[in-house]
Amino acid sequence: MRRSQGFSLVELMISLVLGLVISGAIIQVLVSSSVTNKLNQAVAQVQESGRYITSRLSGEFYEIGRYDTVAASIDDSVDTVAEAAFVENKPIALAGDFATNATLGSTQASSGANDELVVSLLALADCTGSKHGYAADDEFHVVNRYFVSGNEFRCTGYDGRVLRGLKAQSVSPNTVTLLDNVSNFQLQYGVSDVAESSNGQAITYVTADSLAALRAQNQQVVALRWAVLLQSYQNQVQQTSAPTFALLNESQVTLDTAHYYQVFTKTVSLRNMKNFVRSIQ
């Protein structure tokens, strides 16, 4: 009768080593796949957010400075001629423009902090959808303030007539969050030549702190350039090196490795302001 014989100690050790090597390779593939999948999700999320905010801001910014006295149904409880002059001459609001809120205005932040944009236009509602008590089909002087708080890109809508002290406030200003995971927001303003000799084209791009002096020389903002830096959700990715970015005129900054970042930049021509500047000639 033959006696059965098992594996030797050497054979068992070789089998264990081979098993560990194969298991390690499988684990490495799974980890790599997980990292790649998380990165792809982060890229998709940031790009979708970027497309959304670019589309929304483009649509709203195109209307800056609009005051249509021909086709629009305007609430005429105030002097609409004076209101048109205010909106068309001050489409980008600066501190001191509004009698009841002297600090409200577009600002250039220091040291790479977020800029703020405050604009005037004729519209049916502000950026939050509020009509401030006006009739459903009536347009009025809307003032929108775009800013970043924490990591949220927000907009506050105002009744421009209340801000100018022409009527009592009946509806409080409302603030909505347009997008989260916003790391930075920067702006530049395309300014025309002196209105009397301008063709409505931007001859230079400046920051908000230069606008008051240019406005005094009768140079108008006819284009707007913005850059927004978006980030993925925290701990969604882990990059091997810290990314660096520079938005518009700002200095380059180095960010963390726990997010995926992407910059979205666009320049829009303010068609209402271009037409207004040309009409002055």
For 113-125, what is each residue's pLDDT tens digit?
999 999 999 999 9
- Which helix (H) or strand (E) segment is 26 a member of? helix 9-61
Q: Write down the pLDDT at residue 208.
A: 97
pLDDT at 249 over 60: yes
Contact yes or no for 198/192 (Cβ under 8 A):
yes
Q: Write down the pLDDT at residue 200.
A: 83
- In sequence order, what E strands does the chain have? 117-123, 140-149, 152-159, 174-179, 182-194, 204-206, 219-231, 244-245, 253-254, 261-269
Sheet holding 152-159, edge to edge: 117-123, 140-149, 152-159, 174-179
C-alpha to C-alpha distance for 162 and 112, rounded to whole angstroms? 32
Q: Indicate the pLDDT class of residue 98, thresholds 50, 70 and 90.
A: very high
Average pLDDT, the chain: 90
pLDDT at 180 over 60: yes
pLDDT at 264 over 80: yes
C-alpha to C-alpha distance for 183 and 245, rounded to whole angstroms? 11
- pLDDT tens digits along 57-79: 999 999 999 999 999 999 999 99
Q: What does pTM read for this prediction?
A: 0.87
Highest mean pLDDT among 70-74, 93-97, 252-256: 93-97
Q: Write down the pLDDT at residue 145.
A: 98
C-alpha to C-alpha distance for 33 and 40, rounded to whole angstroms? 10
C-alpha to C-alpha distance for 82 and 141, rounded to whole angstroms? 11
Amino acid residing at 247: L
Q: Indicate the pLDDT class of residue 165, thresholds 50, 70 and 90.
A: very high
Q: Which DSSP category does 197 fall into?
A: G
